[in-house]
A and B are shown apart, each in its own frame.
Chain A
């Protein structure tokens, strides 16, 4: 068996591996560029909190309709939106800062969601909601993921320049566009849609993994935002393929294997990357 056979066989032989690969690559296409903007806006931890905040809505939908894609999607979106509004209100009307408000909601949502699921479900169901099951992706989930990615790519194509300028210098954007605030709402909406789509594959705890980790890894290899976007997609796709192969050959759980691979790419990049890495600093000092 050649190396190519080893790499391709699982995806040729098994339909569930094909579907998992398709889901991951499509998620990477839409999610990784959003991850770049989240990283540049310094809101990675807020994104992490939001990915957990969807759990109570998903859990409530699960209690009502079981493991059904569309009710869980709607429940997740509603819970995420509600949590974001509460976080904004807490920040505006109390003395706590944004990070504290999101941490409060993140822990509350996680505990509440797990409690809700435990009312009815088995530990297997709970694991499914928390960590997803990418190998069990069905047609509906694939449609949802594809729809979310298409929407993200379209919106990013339309808003790209606006988002870049707003990220670089928000006050400049607000002073030159009287309705600049809606860009943030659209971006936040895209984030929520992608988190809910990624939840189908990676669960609420790992949903952000394919968005943020590739962006962090890519940042060590390029200093230009125009190349940062495709590079992050490439890292996300490579993490997906590598993670799925690891799960197939080494019998690792697939979702954690994908996110762990992306994380390892991030650590390797932080050590050896061309810009801002440990190696780059050492080279500069020599």
Chain B
């Protein structure tokens, strides 16, 4: 099975700071992959590169052509202006941008889809609320509703369960699992190793460079993912050569 997303020696630099270095790997159609690693490991950068929001300074990112316009990206909650003067309905309807562009109308069918998406995340009746009045959990659910209306084949989630209570996390996890069952390809940045082990069959471990990828249980066996391991220790100081690991993340996951 050919990969939907392939990374080939991808490096990203912000000014002089190297965020990603020679990262290779691939994401198979229908896979559910957790991206793990310490703070500053380049996890969010990896998602932005796949989403096309950042161009790699070196290397190549290949996303299958039919998925290019059907990629949904859920950013970290702090990357969005929470007090922006729009309603919940307007925010969810931004998900139709790839279809409407500047002049296309938001049709009543689209509004119905948006309402259904809001109902699916437990926000029915919130349509006319200002987004500034939402709690952190409600805001995150609204962003999930936007991903739902995008109806994307590739879904990129950047720390979707941060600052969200346990009940909301359970609800959102269920939505992610439903997407997985529908055959969508999901790449999700996560810090919670419990969630990773329980729900994510594949993992991708980053620390500037790629430390390993593959089946989550194998990565736990190899101690690349471990509850005993302080993830902060993985991060090498800037300027030191990347650590050499036996596991090459460019392998075929099929």
**Residues of chain A having any CB pair with chain B under 8 Å:** 40, 92-93, 95, 158-162, 164-165, 167-169, 171-178, 219, 222-225, 228
Contacts and interface: CB of A to CB of B under 8 A. Distances in A.
B89 to A, nearest CB: 11
B102 A159 contact: yes
B85 interface: yes
B109 interface: no
B81 A171 contact: no
A1 to B, nearest CB: 42
B35 to A, nearest CB: 16
Contacts of B86: 164, 168, 224-225
A169 B94 contact: yes
A222 B85 contact: yes
Contacts of A173: 97
Contacts of B85: 40, 219, 222-225, 228
B51 A174 contact: yes
22 contacts: A93-B15, A160-B102, A161-B97, A162-B101, A162-B102, A167-B81, A167-B84, A168-B84, A168-B86, A169-B79, A169-B94, A171-B53, A171-B75, A172-B75, A174-B51, A175-B71, A175-B73, A176-B69, A176-B71, A223-B130, A225-B84, A225-B85
Interface of B: 15, 48, 51-54, 68-69, 71, 73, 75, 79-81, 84-87, 91, 94, 97-98, 100-102, 130, 132, 156
Contacts of A158: 102
A165 to B, nearest CB: 5
A163 to B, nearest CB: 10
- What 3 A-B pairs come out closest when comparing CB atoms? A175-B51, A174-B53, A175-B73
B208 to A, nearest CB: 20
Contact of A161 (B80, B102, B130): B102
A168 B84 CA distance: 6
Given A168-B84, A171-B75, 14 more contacts: A40-B84, A167-B81, A167-B84, A168-B81, A168-B91, A169-B81, A171-B51, A171-B53, A172-B75, A172-B94, A175-B48, A176-B69, A222-B85, A225-B86
Contacts of B15: 92-93, 95
Nearest to B133: A223
A161 B94 CA distance: 9
Contacts of A159: 102
B52 A168 contact: no
B97 A176 contact: yes
A152 B98 CA distance: 25
A169 B102 contact: no
Contact of A171 (B48, B91, B94, B101): B48
Contacts of A169: 75, 79-81, 94
B38 to A, nearest CB: 22
Contacts of A168: 80-81, 84, 86, 91, 94
A171 B79 contact: yes
A162 B86 CA distance: 14
Contacts of B75: 169, 171-172
Contacts of B101: 161-162
A66 to B, nearest CB: 43
Nearest to B44: A171
Contacts of A172: 73, 75, 94, 97
B91 A175 contact: no
Contacts of B73: 171-172, 175
A17 B68 CA distance: 56
Contacts of B79: 169, 171
Contacts of B87: 224
B157 to A, nearest CB: 12
B81 A40 contact: yes
Contacts of A165: 94, 97
Contacts of B51: 171, 174-175
Nearest to A159: B102
